[in-house]
Amino acid sequence: MTAGNYYEGQIKRRATDRLADLTQSQVEAARQCAADGSTETVDVADLAAGDRLLIREGERIPVDGTVADGEGTVDEAVVTGESLPVGKTPGEQVVGGALLQEGSLVVRVDEGATSSVERITDVVWNLQSATHGIQQLADRLATIFVPLVLVLALVVGVVQFALGAGIGATLLVALTVLIVSCPCALGLATPLAIASSVREALERGIVVFDETIFERLRDVDVVAFDKTGTLTTGEMRVIDRQGPDALFERAALLERR
């Protein structure tokens, strides 16, 4: 039982290690704009709705917000999976954790002053210690099964002793019943399977928000996929060409400039 719990813990730790990309996308400090136009570096935890933040090229957006001033190109792949950068202008929404590739933005903090990346990370962290669905059922069955096994072992031991068996033989029979009837598989098989599934999903770039999804998959008939990067890598390459070689040579020269 102890070995099983240890193995389950190892699986969960490896699963949470896969959140490194999301965790690294979180920003701890932000450049807050004052009324006189100056800026001050503050902790993201101290931000409030309505605060204005200056985001420069190459920086990550600390929290979800709305572009108040400036224009830029934002890479939101860490949240949306979209490989192509998205242009942002005043009035448009930006997500915390996204990378500003070009331009400069002044972002007004939305209500809650949190980032989408932070919320995703928190959900997956909490998922590692939560019990849902069939795992709760397995835990309830285990709590019922353990007392029954103890009572059964005691009854068998008493019967053996009453039939004239010695203390050593009686204890051996009782221990045999306990070992054979131990509900370790019932208590560990389900959480181990779910923890392994969550880890495998994260390794494949899938963030699991609800572990009961593995139980419901057997009832799924249709799956709808969205966003570039879900079924494709979002990276394009030339696999064939048509036309004279001289034309492609000139195009290659222009590409190098």
Q: Which residues are catalytic, by number? A: 226
Return the SS3 of 209.
coil
- 22 with 97: CB under 8 angstroms? yes
Distance of CA 223 to the CA centre of its chain: 20
Residue with token string 């949306």: 80
Strand pairing partners for 43? 29
Instruction: Give the phi and the psi of residue 128 in degrees, each rounded to 5.
Output: -65, -25
Question: Measuring CA to CA, how many Å separate 142 from each of 97, 119, 147, 187?
Answer: 42, 33, 9, 6
In angstroms, the CA 207 to CA 19 distance is: 9
